[in-house]
């Protein structure tokens, strides 16, 4: 059973929801939490879990054999990333940091002057706390291919999940609706869309739910800080009703959530009264997917 936790807008409390859900699930089921917010992974901080390196992630990049190069410039003309600079009469210059490894330059070169090598673009770590098995993808600073890291961390998570015989996999995705988010959502059974009662969060929530609908994945909304702005809370409720998307959780704006971040403890461990909220979310997810063995 795979559950993605996402939210169009950053800072809506996605990681708080993902970690607390994982801690609650882990009390009865073998649970894996995948931190796929690879540009800024922080679930290990919220769970106070020590990270251990699992593997590096590499991306192909071209290398040139200038003895074979005729300075035709074709490689530069096919590079959509503008990673190759060509000046007539000179050998092409390569800007490694913006290359995404598509190999178009190698295919286009008429003299086979280009072959592929690789560069490290990220790292995968593991960790464990509160009985939650954590798998973390982290993009190397300055690199661009975050979608690659998400795909790689999802692949490794499948391997680890098989070894551990895990029953629940929660994927904490990046914010937005770009390539890394799509790579986090694909193949999941349920999407928990975390939002807050603000105009920008509602706008981005609609975009995320559009994606869920596109991939035909069931979804539910969790409204964080729901008591902060009643007018926008009501707008989210109206939107959810109109589109027949259940609101599966409402989280109040309380100091405990700030303490959770400061003390590096999931909020359900800071104050047990929040367990009820997350248990209810779990129950509602179960009801939405009746065939599951949850």
The residues of the shown chain that bind ligand SF4, judged by CB under 6 A, are: 62, 64, 69-75, 78-79, 81, 83-84, 92, 99-105, 108-109, 111, 113-114
Closer to ligand SF4 by CB, 45 or 69: give it.
69
CA distance 218 to 209: 9
Write down the least CB distance from residue 153 to ligand SF4, Å: 22
Q: Which helix or strand (DSSP H or E) is residue 192 part of?
A: strand 190-195
- Smallest separation (angstroms) from ligand SF4 to the CB of 251: 42
Q: Which is nearer to ligand SF4, 79 or 169 (CB)?
A: 79
Sign of CA dihedral 20, 23, 24, 30: positive
Q: How far apart are CA 209 and CA 191, in angstroms?
A: 9
Q: In the complex, what is the shortest distance from the CB of residue 75 to ligand SF4, in angstroms, rounded to a whole number?
A: 3
Of 22 and 100, which has the nearer Cβ to ligand SF4? Answer: 100
Smallest distance, Å, CB 112 to ligand SF4? 8
- Say if residues 54 and 193 touch (Cβ distance below 8 Å): no
Question: How far apart are the C-alpha atoms of 249 and 284, rounded to whole Å?
Answer: 9
Task: Phi first, then psi: give them for residue 241, nearest 5 degrees.
Answer: -65, -45
Please say which residue, 87 or 234, places its beta carbon nearer to ligand SF4.
Answer: 87
- Minimum distance from residue 142 beta carbon to ligand SF4 (Å): 15
* Distance separating alpha carbons of residues 199 and 167, to the nearest angstrom: 37
- Give min distance, CB of 181 to ligand SF4, in A: 22
Q: Which is nearer to ligand SF4, 64 or 274 (CB)?
A: 64
The burial class, CB within 10 Å (0-12 / 13-18 / 19+), for 288 is middle
Q: Which is nearer to ligand SF4, 77 or 292 (CB)?
A: 77
User: Distance between CA 214 and CA 82 in Å, rounded?
Assistant: 31
Angle between helices 230-242 and 199-214 (to 10 degrees): 20
Q: Measure the CA–CA gap between 103 and 118, rounded to whole angstroms.
A: 11
CB-nearer residue toward ligand SF4: 71 or 286? 71
Minimum distance from residue 115 beta carbon to ligand SF4 (Å):
10
Q: Which is nearer to ligand SF4, 49 or 114 (CB)?
A: 114
Tokens of 94: 């390569």
Least CB distance to ligand SF4 at residue 151 (A): 17
Distance, in Å, from the CA atom of 44 to the CA atom of 129, rounded to the nearest integer, reads 9
Residue 211 backbone phi and psi in degrees, to 5: -60, -45
């Amino acid at each position: 059973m795979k559950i993605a936790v996402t939210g169009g807008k950053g800072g809506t409390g996605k990681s708080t929801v993902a970690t607390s859900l994982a801690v609650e699930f882990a009390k009865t089921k073998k649970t894996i939490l995948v931190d796929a917010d690879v540009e800024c992974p922080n679930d290990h901080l919220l769970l106070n879990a020590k990270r251990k390196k699992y593997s590096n992630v590499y991306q192909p990049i071209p290398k040139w054999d200038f003895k074979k190069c005729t300075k035709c410039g074709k490689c530069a003309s096919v590079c959509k990333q503008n990673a190759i600079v060509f000046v007539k009469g000179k050998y092409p210059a390569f800007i490694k940091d913006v290359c995404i490894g598509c190999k178009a330059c190698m295919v286009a070169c008429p003299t086979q002057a280009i072959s592929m090598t690789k560069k490290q673009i990220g790292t995968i770590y593991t960790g464990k706390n509160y009985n939650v098995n954590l798998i973390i993808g982290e993009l190397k600073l300055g690199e661009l291919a975050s979608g690659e890291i998400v795909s790689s961390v999802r692949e490794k998570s499948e391997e680890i999940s098989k070894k551990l015989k895990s029953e629940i996999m929660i994927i904490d995705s990046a914010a937005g609706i770009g390539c890394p988010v799509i790579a986090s959502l694909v193949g999941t059974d349920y999407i928990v869309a975390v939002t807050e009662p603000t105009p920008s969060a509602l706008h981005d929530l609609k975009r995320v739910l559009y994606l869920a609908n596109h991939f035909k994945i069931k979804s539910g909304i969790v409204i964080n800080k729901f008591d902060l702005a009643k007018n926008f809370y009501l707008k989210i409720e109206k939107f959810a009703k109109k589109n027949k998307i259940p609101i599966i959780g409402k989280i109040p704006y309380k100091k405990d959530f700030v303490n959770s971040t400061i003390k590096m403890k999931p909020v359900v461990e800071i104050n047990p009264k929040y367990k009820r909220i997350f248990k209810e979310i779990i129950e509602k997810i179960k009801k939405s997917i009746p065939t599951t063995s949850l």
